[in-house]
Every structure is written in C-alpha cells, then in structure tokens.
Amino acid sequence: MDEKDAQLREAAEKLALTLSESGMQKTTARVMTALLFSRQEAMTAADLCEELRISSGAVSGAVKQLIPTGIIERVPAPGSRRDHYRFREHAWATLMGNQNALLSSMWDAASEGIKVAGKDSTPGRRLDEMQHFYGFMQREMAALIDKWLEQYDTDKG
Amino acid sequence: MDEKDAQLREAAEKLALTLSESGMQKTTARVMTALLFSRQEAMTAADLCEELRISSGAVSGAVKQLIPTGIIERVPAPGSRRDHYRFREHAWATLMGNQNALLSSMWDAASEGIKVAGKDSTPGRRLDEMQHFYGFMQREMAALIDKWLEQYDTDKG
DNA sequence: GCAAGTTTTCAGAGATTATTGAACACTCAG
DNA sequence: CTGAGTGTTCAATAATCTCTGAAAACTTGC
C-alpha cells in the first residue's frame, strides 16, 4: 500500500513540473497536484508541509494563489482548528475558463495596435488576423466549457 | 509619425509582458511582439537588437525558440546577407495548436494516476473528471482551430 | 480575556534563470 | 582560398524570483 503512495506522489510531482513549465509557480503547482492525487479527501497546511517538505509560509502563499482561481477551496473541518483544503469539483473547467481572460487581453492588444496603425498598414494586417482569431476563440471556448459542464453533469447526474 | 511608432512599441511591450506572465520567456515574448507590431514587413537580428536594446546573443536565443514553434519564420532577403525574420501567417492558430500537447499530457497524468489508484478511490474520482475534461478539450480544440482556419481563409480568400 | 494553536506576513538568504560579451563558426563574394 | 560580415555558443555576470524562518496577527476554546 505504501508502494501506491509513492507512485501517486511521483505522478503528482511529474504533473507539477509540467504545470510549472507552463507558467504556474512551482510550489503552487506542487500544492495543487498534492491535493489532486491525495488519498485523503482534504489536507491541512501541516499535511502539505510534511508531504512536500516546504515551510508553512510557502504553503500559505500557494493557497493564496489557488483559492481565488477556484482550483481549491477551504473546507470546514469539524473538530479541528486547522484549515483543511480540498481540490474543487470542476476545477479544470474553472481553470480553463480563467484562460478566457488571457484571450480577452490578446484581443485587446490587437485592437489597441489597430487603433494606432490602422487596418491598412503592415502591422494592421497582422493584428487584424490576431483580433479575428482571439475574438473567435473567446466565444467558442466559453461555449465549449458550458457544453462540457452540461454533458458531464448529465452523465454523472 | 514618430508618435505612432512610440505607441506601437508601447503596445508591443505591454503584450510581451502579458505573455511572459503566462509562461513565455520575457525576451522571447519581446522579440515576438516586436515583429508583430513592426511597421516593417520583416526585421533583421540587428534591427531587433537596436529596437529592444538587447544583445545579439539574446536575439539568437529567442529566434531559436520562436521558429520551431511556428510563430516566426526566416525569410529570404534578396541583396542582403543578413537573416530577416517575419511574423508568420496563422501563427496564432499554430500557437494554440501547440497547446494541445499540454492538454494531452494532462490527460496522460490523469490516466497514470487512475492506473495506480483505481477509479473507485478518492483520487480516482478526481482524476476521472480530469481525464474526461481533457479528453473532451483535446478533441474539441483541434476541431475549433480547423474551423477557424477554414472560416478565415474563406472570408479573405 | 487569556493562552494555545494556527495562519499570514515579510525581510533576507538562496536558488534559479536570463543576459551579456567575446570567442568561435559559418557563409559567400571576389 | 581568403576575409569581411553575420550568426551561434557558452562561461561568467547580473537580475529575478522563491523559499525559509521567525515574528506578528488572528482565532477559538476555556
């Protein structure tokens, strides 16, 4: 049984590494994947310190990033004064939804450039394609996430 | 006219900052946006050094990252021995397409965890949702990009 | 209201990463 | 083949970012 724990921890660390390569802070990613792969329903900050061998300050910082994005949540822990943290349901859909903010700022950047240079300029033509692309993606991505949520809840529901 | 240049450069830098916050290297992002917002059709490494105030080594490194991902391309420059670089058409679609590799590795990570813990475990249930989500996204994203390319080329074509 | 337990904050240490600058390699024209 | 003009590499430097550890601030049961 300890074998499994080791394998799960390894898989968690591997994913954390991938996520950190895509821009997420390393410790934040490690906290996230620790909660995702944990055999426990929820973990305390102390659990995370021990599991990941990091300080309580580091856990606090990671949690502070993860909660507002909707990836994890604090969960009431009857009979304990320690905060418990748990991976949120539909966290992935939330995470992808947050990406929409990025798509939106890409659209904005293109729009800004077009305003200055005009559509019929060298940069204008490039920016026009960019704006078209991100406008499209923003609309479609939102629809896609809704579609998944609906579909998944129906399957499980 | 110099006014416009300054505004374009500012917009380029702003976007580069956003991109670097999403995981792209800062210099790489700056080279990319410089080419995107440039009034010129293509730029030489020397142009980029001057515009961005960075060394030729830094430009070389950035270009080395950007070309394989399909964001920019080397373009033949008649009458000049210097390499010219240009922002590629449909670069955005390519960029987003590359993200599919990430979606795929997310699916893999979930799969790995399920293999160890089983679907009917605490982590198994979380990972099952994750796998479902990324499987869905991977399929749909690919379709979305194709749809955009088709649509865009029809509009312009 | 106090004290034990817990979380948060933050300055400084430490680790990591990116950039420079110079040496080396390559490419062509003559 | 030679050499001027470019591009690339890489060790050392500089800059950045992150974590720790300890102190401060909460929180809650008594």
pLDDT at residue number A76? 83
pLDDT at residue number B2? 84
CATH 1.10.10.10 fits B3-87, yes or no: yes
For residues B132-139, average pLDDT:
98
Query: How confident is the model over A34-93, as pLDDT tens digits?
Result: 999 999 999 999 999 999 999 999 999 999 999 999 999 999 887 888 999 999 999 999
C-alpha count within 13 angstroms, C-beta hemisphere, residue A44: 9
CB contact under 8 A, B129 and A152: yes
Q: Which residues contact B136 (CB under 8 A, 6 or more apart)?
A: A148, A151
Query: How confident is the model over B68-115, as pLDDT tens digits?
Result: 999 999 998 888 889 999 999 999 999 999 999 999 999 999 999 999
For residues B18-36, average pLDDT:
95
Residue position matching structure tokens 């990430």: B102
One-letter amino acid at B105 equals: S
CA B11/CA B33 separation, integer angstroms: 9
User: What residue spans define the domains of chain A?
Assistant: 3-87, 91-156
CATH 1.10.357 fits B91-156, yes or no: no
Q: Are both B3-87 and B91-156 of the same fold?
A: no
Whether CB of B25 is under 7 Å from strand D: the answer is no
Instruction: Grade residue A103 by pLDDT with cuts at 50, 70 and 90.
Output: very high
Identify which of A11, A36, A112 has the shortest CB distance to residue B126. A36
pLDDT above 90: percentage of residues in chain B: 89
Strand C nucleotides, any atom under 7 Å to a protein CB: 5-11, 17-22, 28
Instruction: Grade residue B157 by pLDDT with cuts at 50, 70 and 90.
Output: low
CA B92/CA A44 separation, integer angstroms: 42
pLDDT at residue number A157? 64
One-letter amino acid at A68 equals: P
Residue position matching structure tokens 């507002």: A68
Range 63-122 of A in CB contact (< 8 A) with B:
87, 89-90, 92-93, 96, 102, 105-106, 109, 112-113, 116-117, 121-122
CB contact under 8 A, B127 and A37: yes
Query: How confident is the model over A21-38, as pLDDT tens digits?
Result: 999 999 999 999 999 999
CA B53 from chain centre, in angstroms, equals 22
CA A6/CA A15 separation, integer angstroms: 14
